[in-house]
Amino acid sequence: MKLISIEYIKAAPRWEDGPKDGLPEVALIGRSNVGKSSLINHLLGRKVAFVAKTPGKTQLIQYFLINKAFYLVDLPGYGYAKVGKETRNAWGPMINAYLTKKETLHGVGMLIDIRHPESPLDIKMKEWLDHRSIPAFFITTKADKIAKGKRKAQTDTIKSIYGITDLLLTSSLKKEGKMDVWKRIGSMITEKPRLPEESLDV
C-alpha cells in the first residue's frame, strides 16, 4: 500500500464520538507497553502517535485518516495497573463497545510482545476476539529484542499458544515489517465489515 496522505483526525473518549463518514476502520490493540504507538509511528513514517515513558498513557480512541480512504485506529492499551481505578474500569467497556458496535470496523490487528508470548491478558483478549467473531490478524512487536536466529522458534511458540497460522514480525527500532502490516490492512479493508452487535455485556 502506498501512503499518499496521513491526517490525524481526533481523539475520542467514546466509540460514538468517532468519525461518522462511513469509511472503513482497522484498529490496533494490545496491552500497555507493547509498543503500539511506536509501531504506528513506524507504519506512518512520522511521529504522529505519542510514545509515553509511562505505560497506560493513551486513554482515548485515536483516529488517523489514511489516503482519505480509511481510518487506522489506535485503541487504548489494556492491563496497566497503575492508572487510576476509575480510568482502568472505563477502558474495558470503551474497547468492548467500539469492537462490537462500530459498524465500519473491518478488523483488528492485535499486537503481541515477542518476548512475552504467554501473557494472560493477551491470551484472554484473543479468546474474547474469537468469541465475538471479530476478524483479527496478529503482529509481534520488538523483534529486535530477540536474536535473529531465535526468532522462528519464538514465533512458532506464539502461533502454537494462540492457535494461529500467520504472524507478522515487526521492529519499530529496526524498521522491519512495515510493508507486511500494510498489506494485511489493505486486504482487510476490502472485505465486508463485521455486523455490529445489538447488545453488549460489560
For residue 53, tell me if it sits in a domain. yes
Contact 12, 97 (CB under 8 A): no
For residue 1, tell me if it sits in a domain. no
- Per the structure, the count of domains in the chain is 1
pLDDT value, residue 202: 36
Q: Which pLDDT tens digits describe the chain residue by residue (202 residues)?
A: 888 999 999 999 889 999 999 999 999 999 988 999 899 999 998 877 655 444 444 578 999 999 999 999 999 888 755 555 555 566 778 888 999 999 999 999 999 999 998 999 999 999 999 999 999 999 999 999 999 999 999 999 999 999 999 999 999 999 999 999 999 999 999 988 877 775 334 3
pLDDT value, residue 55: 45
For residue 81, tell me if it sits in a domain. yes
125: Cβ contacts below 8 Å, ≥ 6 apart: 29, 31, 78, 110
For residue 197, tell me if it sits in a domain. no
DSSP letter for 176, please: B
pLDDT value, residue 85: 58
DSSP letter for 35, please: S
pTM of the predicted protein model: 0.88
DSSP letter for 137, please: E
Spatial separation of the C-alpha atoms in residues 183 and 166, rounded to whole Å: 13
For residue 86, tell me if it sits in a domain. yes
For residue 201, tell me if it sits in a domain. no
For residue 149, tell me if it sits in a domain. yes
For residue 202, tell me if it sits in a domain. no
CATH for 85 = 3.40.50.300
Phi then psi for 53, rounded to 5 degrees?
-70, -30
Q: Which structural domain, as residue segments, surrounds residue 27?
A: 6-189
